[in-house]
Each structure stands twice: as C-alpha cells, then as structure tokens.
Amino acid sequence: MAVVNITNKHLLTLYTEGKSKKYDLPPQVVKKYFMRIQQLEAAKTVADLLADTGMKFEAYKDHYSVRLNQQYRMELDVEWQDENQTVLWVVDIFEVSPHYGD
C-alpha cells in the first residue's frame, strides 16, 4: 500500500476539517477528494489505479493527476518502488486544480 502525504497545507485542512478557505469546492468534489485519497492509500500497483477508468490516473506536466470530476483534478507526485514504475511507494498530493477536458 502507498504512503500518501498531503503536502499542501490548505488541502490538508480540507482533508482534516472537510473545508478550506482556499479550496471552496462543491460538496460532491470534496467527497470525491476523500474517495481518491482512500484509493491512493489502498493501491499497491499502478494497475490498481488504472482499474478505475473514471479516476484517469495519468502523467500531467512533470507529475501525475487523477480526476475528481469533469471540472477538477488532483495533482500529485509519485515515488515508485521499482524502476519500471509499477509499484507505488509514496504519493504526495500538492494541488487540486481546474480540469479543462480530456
């Protein structure tokens, strides 16, 4: 299972308190945020993340992202346990940003 760190203090507040002044997100997006964190924590391999096609785990710029809904994505860095990038080790969540389509 992956170790998940929330490196953005506002996203950590969102996770611990269910709300954040910086991230005024719709309730369904906050719910999905919690769900995605649980999925990341439970994942052992990249295949676990790819199995949920709605998650859309993908390379994004110089890191990775997962979809929260049609409008928002969660951005993260991944440290891999193997050089083939198949086994997750540490996931650092650092941003939730607008998602502008596929």
CATH number at residue 27: 3.30.2310.20
Helix (H) or strand (E) holding 41: helix 27-42
For residue 32, pLDDT beyond 80? yes
Instruction: Report pTM.
Output: 0.91
pLDDT of residue 54: 93
Token readout for 7 is: 């490196």
The pLDDT tens digits of the residues spanning 33-91 come to 999 999 999 999 999 999 999 999 999 888 999 999 999 999 999 999 999 989 989 99
Domain of 50 in residue numbering reads as 3-98
Domains: count for the chain: 1
How far is Cα 22 from Cα 57, in angstroms, rounded to an integer?
24
How would you class 59 by CB atoms within 10 Å of its CB: exposed for 0-12, middle for 13-18, buried for 19 or more?
exposed
pLDDT of residue 99: 79
